[in-house]
Amino acid sequence: MKQIETYRYKKILVLGLAKSGVTAASLLHNLGAFVTVNDKKPFSENPEAQGLLEQGIKVICGEHPIELLDEGFELIVKNPGIPYSNPMIEGALEKGIPVITEVELAYEISEAPFIGITGTNGKTTTTTLVYEMLNEGKKEPLIAGNIGTVASGVAEKAEKDNTIVIELSSFQLMGIRSFKPRIAIITNLYDAHLDYHGTRREYIQAKANITKNQTEHDYLIINADQEETMAIAQNSKAAIVPFSTKKELTEGAYIKDGWVIFNQEPVMEISEIVLPGVHNLENILSAVAAAKLSGVENSAIQAVLKTFTGVRHRLQYVADVNGRKVYNDSKATNILATIKALSAFKTPTILLAGGLDRGNEFDELLPYLSHVKALITFGQTAPKLERAGELAGIKTISRVDNVDKAVPEAYRLSEPGDVILLSPACASWDQYKSFEVRGDIFIEAVHKLK
């Protein structure tokens, strides 16, 4: 890591802990800053804060006292989940105190270049694909960011020969100043996190920050099938590398005659790719572009795409159970995600769905249920999903108590050649702590069948 002097003797407030706050506070302390940490969780229930105190870092817990801002801080590093409408952040900005996120620190200390991936959907799958392709191509990648590994912690260990492949949320990107990926990817843009950003325009601007510091020596891989992503490209100084699943391009990544093409060069036949779904072709094309720009050979790209079955809980292939292919899409916590999952299959499908009731109906699913031969529901939204299933003409609809009981019921109603798909279209919180817990229970139940 670079031994920078930027923060030596500067008074810095780290607002909000979790993993990124703990790592940022320790890093800044080691870089010679005078660090204060402020977290809402009481100190007695806060082992992270206790650990930082043992390092000699000042810790204030239990509330966010606005008077803290009078202590002369020169910078605030905030947890990405804390909105800019938070009184502490609003007060800091009024006083002219800069506010950044931990990603900015990672960039400043890193000896390795970054490949940054953002967008509304497909970030985690694309990040994982890029990492796997670079790894197969022996490019010594490291993976970081919103995918679960704190960026600055990875950057501390990175060397010049590494490449940090980082998934970036709009929350993180709002808090950058100099962060500049050598290669940036914007997968797509849809409405999301408007409760945080307030407007779609602000959300898109946050995503656009991924390219704001790029130069003509950098690359921006962009979805050519969306007007809003192409508008970002028009304002970028980077070399633009488009990708499209819908049209042939003169350069970039696209589909032609059943092949993945990059810059007019055939890379791989689509029939050999095991990851299902048209939406995953977008992820694959953008990942292929990043890999090719990084010097990865076609053979390494092919090796990954012939074996990569998906990120856990994101249309993840689980098993073949007596001729039934089983997929775990527990991450589908909204209707759009389930539409994408259903669109990935043409064979008869047993759909397992249900969860937290947020007040919406499921009529948007109707055009995509034509190949669903049986619907198994659970959770608060079971009656609403059953209504949608009846409107779609699904003849077999069964309600069960939970995911664990849904799996044997799905098997009972299925035949060899069918797909069994968990894609709930709902959050998990009515029955489960997280979509990961829900997905793990599903996988365990599937393996019991075997």
Q: Assess whether pLDDT exceeds 70 at residue 406.
A: yes
* Same-domain pairing of 249 and 339: no
| Residue from 405, 440, 413, 423 nearest 355 by CA | 423
Q: What is the mean pLDDT of residues 157-181?
A: 95
Based on the domain organization, do 153 and 80 belong to the same domain? no
Cβ–Cβ < 8 Å for 277, 309: no
pLDDT at 294: 98
**Rounded CA gap, 439 and 450, in Å?**
17
Are 153 and 202 contained in the same domain?
yes
Domain of residue 289 covers: 106-305
Same domain? 190 vs 117: yes
What is the SS3 string spanning the chain? Answer: CCCCCCCCCCEEEEECCHHHHHHHHHHHHHCCCEEEEEECCCHHHCHHHHHHHHCCCEEEECCCCHHHHHHCCCEEEECCCCCCCCHHHHHHHHCCCCEECHHHHHHHHCCCCEEEEECCCCHHHHHHHHHHHHHHCCCCEEEEECCCCCHHHHHHHCCCCCEEEEECCHHHHCCCCCCCCCEEEECCCCCCCHHHHCCHHHHHHHHHHHHCCCCCCCEEEEECCCHHHHHHHHCCCCEEEEEECCCCCCCCEEEECCEEEECCEEEEEHHHCCCCCHHHHHHHHHHHHHHHHCCCCHHHHHHHHCCCCCCCCCCEEEEEECCEEEEECCCCCCHHHHHHHHHCCCCCEEEEECCCCCCCCCHHHHHHCCCEEEEEECCCCHHHHHHHHHHCCCCEEEECCCHHHHHHHHHHHCCCCCEEEECCCCCCCCCCCCHHHHHHHHHHHHHHHC
Percent of the chain with pLDDT over 70: 98
**pLDDT for residue 158:** 97
User: Looking at the structure, do residues 162 and 275 belong to the same domain, yes or no?
Assistant: yes
Identify whether residues 348 and 390 lie together within a single domain: yes
Give the chain's domain count.
3
Q: In the predicted model, is pLDDT for residue 195 greater than 70? A: no
CATH code, domain carrying 148: 3.40.1190.10
pLDDT value of residue 191 = 65
Is the predicted pLDDT of residue 197 greater than 80, yes or no? no
Please tell me the predicted confidence (pLDDT) of residue 194.
Answer: 65
- Whether residues 301 and 355 share a domain: the answer is no
Tell me whether residue 225 is in a domain: yes
Is 224 part of a structural domain of the chain?
Answer: yes
Find all residues with CB under 8 Å of 178, minimum gap 6, and list them.
Answer: 104, 107, 108, 213
> Among the three residues 272, 305, 338, which one is the final residue of a domain in this structure?
305
Asked if the structure places residue 391 within a domain, the reply is: yes
Q: Which of 75, 100, 125 is the last residue of a domain?
A: 100
- Asked if 342 contacts 368 with a C-beta cutoff of 8 angstroms, the reply is yes
pLDDT at 311: 84
- How much is the average pLDDT of 17-30? 94
Closest C-alpha among 129, 116, 167 to residue 146:
167
Query: Is residue 139 domain-shared with residue 73, that is, in the same domain?
Result: no
Residue 3 lies in a domain: no
Specify burial of residue 430 (Cβ count, 10 A radius: 0-12, 13-18, 19+).
Answer: middle
CATH of the domain at 325: 3.90.190.20
- Looking at the fold, whether 139 and 40 belong to one and the same domain comes out as no
pLDDT at 192: 60
pTM for this model (two decimals)? 0.84
Higher pLDDT, 148 or 381: 381
pLDDT for 193 equals 63
Question: Quick one: average pLDDT of 36-51?
Answer: 95
pLDDT for residue 276 is more than 90:
no
pLDDT 10s digits, 200-234: 888 899 999 999 999 999 999 999 999 999 999 99
On the question of pLDDT at 152 being above 90, the answer is yes
Average pLDDT, the chain: 95
Question: Which of 266, 284, 305 is at the close of a domain?
Answer: 305
How high is the pLDDT of residue 199?
85
Q: How many CB atoms lie within 10 A of CB 11?
A: 14
Picking from 84-88, 181-185, 237-241, which range would have the lowest pLDDT averaged per residue?
A: 84-88
Percent of residues, the chain, with pLDDT higher than 90: 88
Residue 324 and residue 279 share a domain: no
CATH of the domain at 77: 3.40.50.720
pLDDT at 220: 98
Those residues with Cβ within 8 angstroms of residue 103's Cβ, 6 or more apart along the chain or in another chain? 145, 151, 152, 166, 168, 172, 173, 175, 176, 179
294 in the same domain as 207: yes
* Residues 320 and 411 occupy one common structural domain: yes
